[in-house]
Every structure is written in C-alpha cells, then in structure tokens.
C-alpha cells in the first residue's frame, strides 16, 4: 500500500487562520463517560458518522489513535479513511493524524495504515521525567531527534508534530532545550496542558514566547479542563497566535475533558474575531453536538454554550420578555449556530441521530434507534410537503405519532411549570447587524 504520507496534499494546502484538530476519536475516547459504563462505546458506524459530520462542518485535521493500540482501532482507521475519501470531491482533502509515542512500533504502524501525519509526543515535565518514562532531557532529545530526522528524510510529505507532554509544568527553558534541536524537522510544535494547570496569563505569555523563538513553526495547543479553564485558555492561545487547536465535540476527553470545538468558535464570534471562522459551517454547530450527545446517550451538556439550554427559559418574567423580544434574555446569536429546528432537522448534518435526539430528548418520545432510523427515512421522503404552512418539527412529530404510533414517555402534570424552549430562527433583531455572518 502506498503510504498517504508520500502524497503532497499538505504541501499544497494553505492552512487557515484557525485550524481545528479534532481529537474526539482519540482524546474523546479517553472520556470516563465511555469507560465507566462499559456498555457505551463508539461502533465503527458511529465513528464514520462522526468523521463525516466533522468533515462537512469544515474540519481539516482529525486525530486518531495509532493503529497498534488495538485490532479494532486498526480496522476502524480503514473505515474512517474510506469515509474521508468519499468526501474529497465535495469538501477537499482532510488530513488524518495518528497520535503516536516516539516509538518505532507506533510510527511504523501509523505509516503503514496510510496516515497523513504523526502527532508525536513525549513527556518533558520534571514529573514525566521522574515518574513516567524516567528519561532526562538529553535522553529525550537522543530519542526524538534521530526519529524525526529519519522520518523527514524518508517521508518528506508526512505532516510531523512534536509535543512535549505536560508542557505547562515544564519550565520554559527546559521546553526550549527540547524544541530547539527538533524544530527544523516538524510542521508544528505542540503545547499540551496535560493536567489542566494553565491559566490565561500564563498561556498568553507562553504562546508569545514560543512564537518569538520559533516564528516559522505554527503552534498547536491542547487544554484540559481540570480547573474549568480549557475554553478560556484556548481562546487566549488563539488570540495570541496559536494557529492549531485540539478540540473535541462536547469537550469530551480524559478526566473533565478538553476544549469543546463549538464553544471555542462561538466565543470567537462573541469576540467578533470573524477571521478565525473561515471555512467552518457554524450553522451545523448544534446538530454536530447533538450527533455526539446521541451517540454518548446523553444530553448536550448544560455547560456547553451551543446548547438548547441557552435558549430555555424557566422564570416567568424571562419567558414573558423573551416571547416579546428574545434579546431580553438571549444575548447571543444561537440560531446562527444551529440551535433552531430548521437547522437540526433539515441542515447538512441532519440524520437519524438528530431526529432520534429531537424526538427523545426534546419531545420525550419513547423511541429506539431502529425506529428513529425509519422515522428519519419517512421524514426525508416527506419534506416536499413543507410548504410554509407546517414546520419541519410539526411534520416530524406528525409522522412519529400517526405513522409510528409513538407516544411521549412522560406525561407532565397539568400543574407543572411550563418552560419556553426557543428553536426559531427569526426573533433576534437587536443583534442581527452586529452578528450578520
């Protein structure tokens, strides 16, 4: 098999001001949500659907495990590559990156599997040196440098990244000692906050210091959420010149996870930093979150900014005001991020997952996956009936009730307080000018 690494797609690609490197299927699979409850895991089909949704969203870099972590991962990589290849004509080339240790076994397996690039990493912090691999800085260099040198010589088109794992607990001069002899071989340098210790001022200072020292080499950042700062740290890093950002859908990942992709893009809009949004299909933000939530058998978390939660109003006073004019209690243009009926049901990512979620979580229908697939097929056949008199949601609910005899699984008592969940696209007049995209 010809290694994808030998093709020159990347050398011809012009990276955008912000390149998301999605790691939902690498870091994301390390979430305790998947491992605590062993019954939950991503099937091959789940992975294909997630990758497809990411590519349609506009993501160009997708990180996966190295194929030698397990037989299943190795097989899934081939299925994911096929999904990627199917979308090349429509969306251009998407780069698949393998997360690999500085270990010939990982590297060989990734090249054989046809990856476009390698995300190499090795712990550089005093803690990693003492308790993880037990190697000194000089020994780290002695391992990484010849490996990178060989890779660069033998596979000039392979996209190479090196990360000092636990970079934020690595003193800056130590990080420079490691990166100085490696920088000439790599396309990016990574700065992962592996244990979630970074704060925005430190992030700004470090990103600037690395940009100054390695002005020709783009930076990649990766923030864990142990302190709840992964989003603000990523925002700070981007605004200080980090071009590549690791994110996952819903921010899933080891422990409390990493930065959520849609949360970051949403905040860039709120900060009016529109240049960073090039190529991202923002209207698919809520649908892509729903796709992931449905696969995890959970809700889009209430702390995710791009969620229906942020368009749900419970206090009577808020409800009255919002129905009069949404701007009263909704400051952000969530409909531009697809928190609307139209986008979730009829947008480019609509599929059985969003229909399943819409029926189950928003309308409380008792519906299994297979039925959701059948309802979706009927809904898609019937959308020509949408003539302005009936909304997409009404059509879907009618099909669910009348053709599939589905019923809501909970009956709310008459006396239960009503909530207002807004999924319309229109009533955000005040901010329209500011946020017109």
Q: Which residues bind Cu ion (CB under 5 A)?
A: 27
357 is a site residue for ligand HCA (CB under 6 A): no
Selected from 169, 222, 283, 311, the binder of ligand HCA by CB under 6 A is: 222
Stretch near ligand HCA under the rule CB under 6 A, chosen from 86-94, 186-194, 379-387, 394-402:
186-194
Q: Which option in ligand HCA, Cu ion, none does residue 121 bind, with CB closer than 5 to 8 A by kind?
A: ligand HCA
How far is residue 382 from each of residues 15, 386, 392, 420, measured CA to CA in Å?
A: 40, 8, 10, 28
The β-bridge partners of 354 are: none
Shortest reach from residue 21's CB to Cu ion, in Å: 12
190 is a site residue for ligand HCA (CB under 6 A): yes
CB 119 within 8 A of CB 63: yes
Q: 284 in helix, strand or coil?
A: helix
Assign 3-class secondary structure to 120-183. EEEECCHHHHHHHCCCCHHHHHHHHHHHHHHHHHHCCCCEEEEEEECHHHCCHHHHHHHHCCCH
Residue 402: other Cβ atoms inside 10 A: 9
Distance of CA 436 to the CA centre of its chain: 24
**Closer of 259 and 319 to ligand HCA (Cβ):** 259
Report the alpha-carbon distance of residue 77 to residue 63 in Å, rounded.
11
Q: Which option in Cu ion, ligand HCA, none does residue 259 bind, with CB closer than 5 to 8 A by kind?
A: none
CB 61 within 8 A of CB 248: no
240 is a site residue for ligand HCA (CB under 6 A): no
How far is residue 100 from each of residues 108, 154, 196, 342, measured CA to CA in Å?
A: 10, 18, 21, 41
Burial 52-63 (b: 16+ CB within 10 A, else e): bbbbbbbbbbbb
192 is a site residue for ligand HCA (CB under 6 A): yes
Stretch near ligand HCA under the rule CB under 6 A, chosen from 73-81, 187-195, 396-404, 408-416:
187-195
Tell me the HSE value of 235 on the side-chain side, using a 13 A CA sphere.
18
Shortest reach from residue 193's CB to Cu ion, in Å: 8
Selected from 27, 73, 294, 335, the binder of ligand HCA by CB under 6 A is: 27
Q: Which option in ligand HCA, Cu ion, none does residue 163 bind, with CB closer than 5 to 8 A by kind?
A: ligand HCA
**Closer of 163 and 289 to ligand HCA (Cβ):** 163
Shortest reach from residue 127's CB to ligand HCA, in Å: 12
Site string for ligand HCA, 252-271 (x = CB under 6 A): --x-----------------
Site string for ligand HCA, 120-159 (x = CB under 6 A): -x--------------------------------------
CB 62 within 8 A of CB 159: no
Distance of CA 214 to the CA centre of its chain: 27
117 is a site residue for ligand HCA (CB under 6 A): no
Q: Which option in Cu ion, ligand HCA, none does residue 165 bind, with CB closer than 5 to 8 A by kind?
A: ligand HCA
Report the alpha-carbon distance of residue 9 to residue 116 in Å, rounded.
9
**Binding to ligand HCA in span 52-111, by CB under 6 A:** 99
The two beta strands, 95-101 and 61-65, are: parallel
Selected from 29, 119, 129, 291, the binder of ligand HCA by CB under 6 A is: 119
163 is a site residue for ligand HCA (CB under 6 A): yes
- Tell me which residues touch ligand HCA (CB under 6 A): 27, 30, 99, 119, 121, 163, 165, 190, 192, 194, 222, 224, 254
């Amino acid at each position: 098999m010809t290694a994808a690494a030998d093709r020159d797609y990347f050398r011809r690609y012009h990276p955008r001001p912000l390149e998301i490197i999605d790691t939902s299927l690498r870091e994301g699979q390390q979430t305790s949500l998947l491992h605590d409850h062993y019954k939950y895991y991503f099937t091959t089909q789940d992975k294909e659907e997630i990758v497809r949704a990411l590519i349609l969203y506009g993501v160009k870099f997708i990180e996966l495990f190295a194929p030698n972590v397990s037989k299943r991962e190795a097989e899934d990589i081939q299925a994911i590559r096929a999904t990627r290849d199917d979308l090349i004509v429509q969306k251009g080339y998407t780069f698949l990156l393998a997360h690999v240790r500085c270990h010939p076994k990982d590297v060989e397996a990734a090249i054989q599997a046809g990856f476009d690039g390698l995300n190499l990493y090795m712990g550089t912090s005093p803690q990693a040196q003492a308790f993880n691999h037990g190697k000194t800085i000089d020994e780290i260099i002695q391992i990484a440098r010849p490996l990178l040198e060989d890779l660069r010589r033998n596979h000039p088109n392979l996209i190479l990244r090196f990360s000092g794992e636990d970079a934020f607990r690595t003193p800056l001069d130590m990080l420079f000692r490691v990166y100085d002899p490696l920088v000439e071989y790599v396309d990016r340098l990574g700065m992962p906050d592996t244990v979630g210790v970074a704060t925005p001022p430190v992030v700004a200072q470090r990103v600037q210091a690395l940009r100054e020292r390695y002005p020709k080499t783009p930076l990649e950042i990766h923030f864990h959420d142990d302190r709840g700062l992964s989003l603000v740290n990523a925002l700070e890093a981007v605004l200080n010149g980090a071009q590549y950002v690791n994110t996952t859908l819903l921010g899933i990942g080891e422990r409390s996870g990493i930065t959520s992709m849609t949360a970051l893009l949403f905040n860039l809009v709120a900060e009016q930093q529109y240049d960073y949004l090039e190529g991202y299909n923002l209207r698919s933000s809520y649908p892509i979150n729903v796709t992931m939530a449905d696969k995890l058998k959970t809700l889009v978390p209430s702390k995710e900014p791009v969620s229906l939660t942020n368009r749900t109003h419970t206090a009577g006073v808020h409800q009255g005001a919002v129905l009069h004019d949404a701007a009263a209690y909704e400051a952000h243009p969530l409909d531009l991020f697809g928190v609307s009926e139209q986008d979730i049901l009829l947008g480019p990512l609509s599929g059985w997952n969003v229909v399943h979620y819409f029926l189950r979580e928003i309308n409380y229908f008792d519906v299994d996956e297979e039925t959701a697939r059948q309802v979706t097929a009927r809904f898609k056949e019937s959308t020509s009936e949408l003539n302005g008199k009936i909304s997409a949601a009404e059509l879907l609910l009618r099909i669910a009730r009348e053709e599939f005899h589905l019923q809501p699984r909970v009956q709310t008592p008459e006396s239960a307080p009503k909530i207002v969940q807004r999924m319309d696209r229109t009533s955000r007049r005040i901010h329209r000018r500011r946020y017109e995209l």
